[in-house]
Structure 1
């Protein structure tokens, strides 16, 4: 319809002027698409979800809850976690915890212009995770996320069903039982390193165990997935960790139109 109007206009004006109209119409068309994606569609989805009874945060143009999430994360991480405190969820995911507390166990939040439904009800979450049809829509991750992972996390429909069927045998209970010796060996090496670092010192000893646990996870995955060549697996795991850190840094800093396309 727009092109028809353009050609009708071009027929009544000199050809040089019509050439100037074409970029203008293309620009207007792209602006309309952008406005629809960043404002009209999110607002329509928000009204539809709220009509179904979902409560949550309101959509903020372009950014959604990203800025608020960054602010709450910074505030939560600036406070020291008390010793012997096992309630780490408010520190790890403060926005999700606050949303569940304020809006209920099924709440609505925004990843940019993309609505995200968070389920904190164990029974409902179990129902979703046991689904074998792949009909539950996944969050739409930024296009650069595919550089890190492109699998079950973002597949849907028949493609998700196919990949899930391929992966299921690897997580069969009997196969996991066969991995127990590798699990035990990795844990024994970890405890041994801790014992050596503490030495014969008396009293308390403080240690940052986060990098140790990351190394433990990488060691376990490498030994079980790569077998005797687990050192090569550790190198791959370290490269993926570095790539994930850079990706998360870019997600927090970059926010441009079209960024949330997959």
Structure 2
């Protein structure tokens, strides 16, 4: 009864992670130490908050230490290949483009994608195995080189519209504007023109709702949920 349940819990949150850690270390792959239940998620959040509290340097284009401070520090400490922990699940950091391509295109099914059943319907990025292969075959014709060449005029028109809007902003006396938002609008406009024959202006409400959904999904992924933890007494302080 209770003893078996506690034993299984100890195996899942302590023994299995330690065995996985030893397995990687035997192959020369190290990483930050595993912390019970939460893994390295608190460290990732803490370092991100520390960096975001500092002013952004005006010179230089090396933004990795700013946007991914934990991964930047771990690369310097453990090398380019290392293992970190998100909850009780290990994550292998792979920076080599060719190896990433081989992993993602492999049909052997060894690469398990992060489950997000509660976050909404699965697209190609969330499918695995035969379903992934089937959807990939359906989508392949849409990304054929000749098809993509036919999209160039629409993409160029979206870019020209963006520059015209920037010219208006500069003429009106604007000294600065949010480039991140501008490129987000550009991407949405290109998708609207090439996939749906419309424009961002015609469907901006839908894109705004999708952006909000993504924020909710990312917030869900960054938190390691423990059943009942929301009612913990510490949450009151």
Same fold at TM > 0.5:
yes
Shift of 1:200: 5.9
Q: 1:100 to 1:171 in 2, by over 3 A?
A: farther
Shift of 1:81: 2.2
2:117 is the alignment partner of 1:157: no
2:137 is the alignment partner of 1:137: no
Q: 1:253 to 1:29 in 2, by over 3 A?
A: same
Q: 1:91 to 1:139 in 2, by over 3 A?
A: farther
Separation (CA, whole Å) in 2 of partners of 1:113 and 1:69 = 15
- Count of residues in correspondence between the two structures: 229
2:22 is the alignment partner of 1:52: no
SS at structure 2 position matched to 1:110? strand
Q: Which of these two proteins has the greater Rg computed from alpha carbons?
A: 1
Separation (CA, whole Å) in 2 of partners of 1:85 and 1:230 = 32
Aligned pairs (5 A) from 1:107-256: 107-129=82-104, 131-144=105-118, 146-147=119-120, 150-199=122-171, 201=173, 205-228=175-198, 233-253=203-223, 255-256=225-226
The farther-off stretch of 229-238 and 83-92 is 229-238
Shift of 1:176: 1.4
Q: Which residue of 2 aligns with 1:20?
A: none
**Could you give the per-residue CA deviations for residues 99-125 of structure 1, whole angstroms, max 9, x where no partner exists?**
222212211111111101111123323
Structure 2 unaligned segments of length 5 or more: list them.
Answer: 230-237
Q: Which residue of 2 aligns with 1:19?
A: none
Aligned pairs (5 A) from 1:60-139: 60-129=35-104, 131-139=105-113
TM-score, normalised relative to structure 1: 0.76
CA RMSD for the aligned pairs? 2.7
